[in-house]
């Protein structure tokens, strides 16, 4: 079950906490069963840890942290990753997410359920899970996939050829070479993906999948000059903030592991 932690700096003046409670009340008014708690870095209670513990006691197994700062500075870059890592150490199986908030903003902006995007994401995630669990190597696994899909692909190409569509047999030599080279261009990333899927955690693999759409976003923005409104800016900022928090937490955990190993 998901919970939401409204994370702020805190202040000595009790009035400073009222906007956080108003946000929580607004969420609960729309979703009466939601798990929402504030958590502050310092000077106010509940603290970040107390907010996380409260959500866990209510049944939360995944917590979305929403940083609310006028000037985040090092608090989001350093303090939040450290506290998130410590909270996950205290509660086994607890996941703390920031990237999900950005995705939710984009979904709200679209105004309807993007079925095609969700199907693509679901099938690719299932593919990654199967690769993770497969005992075959990357080359052997890709060979099996090719053997299974070859009859379907060959049948489709033959049908297109008979119907007068497609490229094969209907274009010049250069275009034929481009089309045939697509197989190599596609196979290499799949081999590398299979190699990485068996060696990385699925959480790491999933977060890395944000790199490709982010690159596409940069191309669309700076090469094709596509419109970029405030909603998309907020969503991408939160997604990359989530990636930064996760990466920082991984480095922090690895550093603590080596420090404990050196003292042992």
Q: Which of 161-165, 180-184, 220-224 has the lowest average pLDDT? A: 161-165
In this prediction, residue 32 has a pLDDT band, given cuts at 50, 70 and 90, of confident
Task: Write down which residue in 50, 82, 97 finishes a domain.
Answer: 97
Count: domains in the chain = 2
Decide if 255 is inside a domain. Answer: no
**Residues carrying an active site annotation:** 9
Decide if 120 is inside a domain. Answer: no
Decide if 248 is inside a domain. Answer: no
Does 80 have pLDDT greater than 70? no
Q: How far is CA 27 from CA 3, 9, 188, in A?
A: 11, 21, 46
State the chain's mean pLDDT as an integer.
Answer: 76
Domain span at 37:
2-97
Sheet holding 95-97, edge to edge: 35-40, 2-8, 62-67, 95-97
Does 49 have pLDDT greater than 70? yes
Query: Are 14 and 75 in the same domain?
Result: yes
Task: Write down which residue in 197, 220, 246 finishes a domain.
Answer: 197
pLDDT of residue 99: 55
Q: Copy the structure tokens of residue 142.
A: 């890709």
Query: For residues 222-255, b (16+ Cβ closer than 10 Å) or e, as one string?
Result: eeeeeeeeeebeebbebbebbbbbbebbbebeee
Does 70 have pLDDT greater than 50? no
The enclosing domain of 82 has a CATH number of 3.40.50.1400
Does 96 have pLDDT greater than 80? no
pTM across the whole model:
0.45
Query: Are 79 and 153 in the same domain?
Result: no
Decide if 66 is inside a domain. Answer: yes
Query: Are 92 and 140 in the same domain?
Result: no
pLDDT of residue 71: 46
Percent of the chain scored above 90 by pLDDT?
1
Decide if 256 is inside a domain. Answer: no
Query: Are 7 and 71 in the same domain?
Result: yes
Query: Are 90 and 140 in the same domain?
Result: no
Task: Write down which residue in 33, 67, 97 finishes a domain.
Answer: 97
């Amino acid at each position: 079950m998901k919970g939401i932690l409204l994370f702020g700096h805190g202040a000595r003046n009790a009035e400073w906490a009222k906007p956080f409670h108003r946000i929580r009340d607004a969420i609960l008014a729309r979703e009466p069963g939601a798990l929402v708690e504030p958590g502050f870095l310092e000077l106010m209670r509940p603290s970040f840890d107390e907010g996380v513990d409260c959500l866990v006691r209510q049944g939360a197994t995944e917590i979305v942290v929403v940083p609310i700062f006028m000037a985040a500075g090092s608090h989001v870059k350093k303090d939040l990753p450290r506290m998130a890592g410590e909270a996950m150490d205290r509660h086994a199986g607890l996941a703390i997410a920031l990237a999900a908030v950005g995705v939710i903003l984009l979904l709200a902006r679209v105004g309807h359920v993007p079925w095609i995007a969700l199907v693509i994401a679901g099938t690719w995630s299932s593919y990654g899970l199967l690769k993770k669990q497969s005992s075959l190597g990357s080359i052997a696994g890709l060979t099996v996939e090719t053997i299974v899909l070859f009859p379907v692909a060959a049948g489709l190409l033959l049908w297109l050829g008979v119907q007068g569509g497609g490229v094969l047999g209907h274009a010049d030599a250069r275009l034929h070479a481009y089309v045939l080279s697509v197989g190599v261009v596609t196979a290499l990333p799949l081999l590398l993906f299979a190699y990485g899927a068996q060696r990385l955690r699925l959480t790491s693999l999933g977060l890395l999948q944000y790199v490709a759409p982010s690159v596409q976003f940069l191309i669309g923005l700076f090469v094709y000059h596509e419109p970029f409104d405030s909603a998309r800016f907020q969503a991408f900022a939160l997604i990359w903030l989530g990636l930064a928090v996760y990466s920082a937490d991984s480095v922090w955990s690895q550093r603590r592991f080596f420090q404990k190993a050196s003292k042992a």
